[in-house]
A = this chain, B = another copy of it.
Amino acid sequence: MPADADVLDRTFHALADASRRSIVVRLSEGPASVSALAEPLDMSLSAVVQHIEVLQKSGIVRSEKVGRVRICRLEPAPMGEIEQWIARHRRVWEGRLDQLGDILESTYGRNP
């Protein structure tokens, strides 16, 4: 198993959870502390820390400690990798199913 598959495994897995995706959405608005990320989530701080660890292991999130506060922020590279993977295969099956290609285009838009 190459390291590449591992990165895809971890990144897809990290995003396969609504709580973790909500953390990603929150971080896309800017860096945040662990407790700030925990605040809207209905679970223990411990659980949130564990979600952040999953995101960190995938490489989506990086963090640094500033005093007693841990500041988390997004790292776009792994996302780019899975987006590439999808785009690579989507192109093939878009050619196979024209009507769904149209649906995608009308929803997703044509601009870059």
Contact = CB atoms under 8 A, between A and B. Distances in A.
Given A8-B18, A18-B1, A80 B90 contact: yes
A28 B107 contact: no
Interface residues of A, number: 45
B76 A90 contact: yes
Interface in A1-42: 1, 5, 8-9, 12-13, 15-18, 21, 24-25, 27-31
Given A8-B18, A18-B5, A86-B83, A31 B77 contact: no
Q: In terms of DSSP, what is the predominant structure of the interface of chain A? A: helix
A103 interface: yes
Nearest to A27: B93
